[in-house]
């Protein structure tokens, strides 16, 4: 009997306790062909979640399935289907692009040498220089490429666009979009550069102090959430039941509303705009 697996990653009630921090019942379902962005402040629990998924640390409660299997019981072949990029991982600084290719093709059965060198050329990465001579952006490009060039089905990425300038980030994001286009591959990525997820993520999970406080399709954020700005300290004549959060600043305040269509019907003279992910994070954490 053939078992059809709908999700490349399933995290259920993941819990991890520390002395002064607790990751509390994290749930993630990553379908094939989709990208989930895991966002939150530093120390919110993103990296703990990633390392638990990769079995780089133990957890106290819950379950993690990859390709429908318990993540602790994956075969070597299963593990080769996972591409990983962690912020603190890299190659020896004396290697060059060709050295890395020779290492990786002996390590991964599915290493795609043509994809590797085609992307090296596209990214304009020099083949004859040692890694220690690369800029931080070039190093990150190599790390991303090595996570993809062995043709995995699942990418687990921790801050993949960190240290990249806007043009480099665009190229990397384009690479990620191409990666999931076959409908079988998936990406879970953490990032503090939330603008990278605006046109990339299918779903956004916002984690704060170990809790998921928002888990919605990106389309729902675009369609349902709205921000209204007032140039005074109080949203005049707005009932508290009609907005979620209010964030005050020196010369005025913002309110966060959902659903924005109903709000606009009640207050047709007010301008309601779509929040960026950064604004949404700020309103949910700092708003009253």
- CATH number for the domain spanning 199: value is 3.40.50.300
Number of domains in the chain: 2
Contacts of 67 (CB under 8 A, 6+ apart): 5, 8, 74, 78, 81, 153, 154
- The encoded tokens of residue 8 equal 């490349």
Provide the residue range defining the domain that includes 174: 7-218
pLDDT tens sequence for the chain (288 residues): 445 679 999 999 999 998 888 999 999 999 999 999 999 888 889 989 999 999 999 999 999 999 999 999 999 999 999 999 887 667 788 999 999 999 999 989 999 999 999 999 988 899 889 989 988 888 888 888 999 999 999 999 988 877 677 888 888 888 899 999 999 999 999 887 788 888 889 999 999 999 999 999 999 998 999 999 887 655 667 888 889 998 888 778 889 999 999 999 998 888 899 999 989 998 998 888
Domain closes at, from 160, 184, 218: 218
- The encoded tokens of residue 242 equal 């009609």
Is residue 279 a contact partner of residue 285, using CB atoms and an 8 Å limit?
Answer: no
Residue 129: half-sphere exposure toward Cβ, Cα within 13 Å: 12
pLDDT at res. 29: 97
pLDDT at res. 234: 59
Contacts of 132 (CB under 8 A, 6+ apart): 93, 94
In angstroms, rounded to a whole number, what is the distance separating the alpha carbons of residues 221 and 218?
A: 5
Question: What predicted TM-score, i.e. pTM, was given to this entire model?
Answer: 0.91
pLDDT at res. 165: 77
Residue 1 placed within a domain? no
Residue 120 placed within a domain? yes
């Amino acid at each position: 009997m053939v078992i059809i697996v709908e999700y490349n990653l399933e995290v259920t009630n993941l819990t991890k306790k520390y002395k002064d921090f607790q990751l509390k019942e994290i749930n993630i379902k990553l379908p094939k062909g989709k990208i989930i962005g895991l966002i939150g402040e530093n120390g919110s629990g993103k990296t703990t979640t990633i390392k638990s998924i990769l079995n780089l640390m133990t957890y106290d409660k819950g379950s993690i399935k990859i390709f429908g299997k318990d993540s602790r019981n994956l075969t070597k072949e299963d593990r080769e289907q996972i591409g990983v990029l962690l912020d603190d991982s890299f190659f020896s600084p004396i290697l060059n692009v060709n050295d890395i290719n020779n290492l990786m093709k002996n390590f991964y059965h599915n290493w795609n040498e043509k994809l590797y060198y085609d992307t090296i050329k596209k990214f304009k990465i020099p083949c004859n220089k040692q890694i220690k001579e690369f800029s931080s952006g070039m190093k990150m490009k190599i790390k991303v490429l090595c996570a993809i060039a062995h043709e995995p089905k699942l990418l687990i990425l921790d801050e993949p666009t960190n240290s990249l300038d806007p043009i480099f980030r665009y190229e990397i994001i384009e690479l990620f979009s191409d990666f999931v286009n076959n409908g079988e591959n998936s990406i879970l990525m953490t990032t503090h550069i939330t603008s990278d997820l605006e046109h990339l993520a299918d779903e956004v999970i916002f984690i704060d102090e170990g809790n998921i406080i928002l888990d919605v399709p990106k389309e729902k954020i675009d369609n349902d959430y709205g921000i209204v700005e007032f140039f005074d300290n109080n949203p005049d004549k707005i009932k508290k039941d009609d907005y979620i959060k209010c964030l005050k600043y020196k010369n005025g305040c913002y309110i966060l509303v959902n659903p924005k269509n109903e709000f606009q019907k009640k207050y047709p003279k007010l301008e309601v705009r779509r929040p960026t992910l950064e604004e949404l994070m700020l309103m949910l954490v700092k708003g009253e």
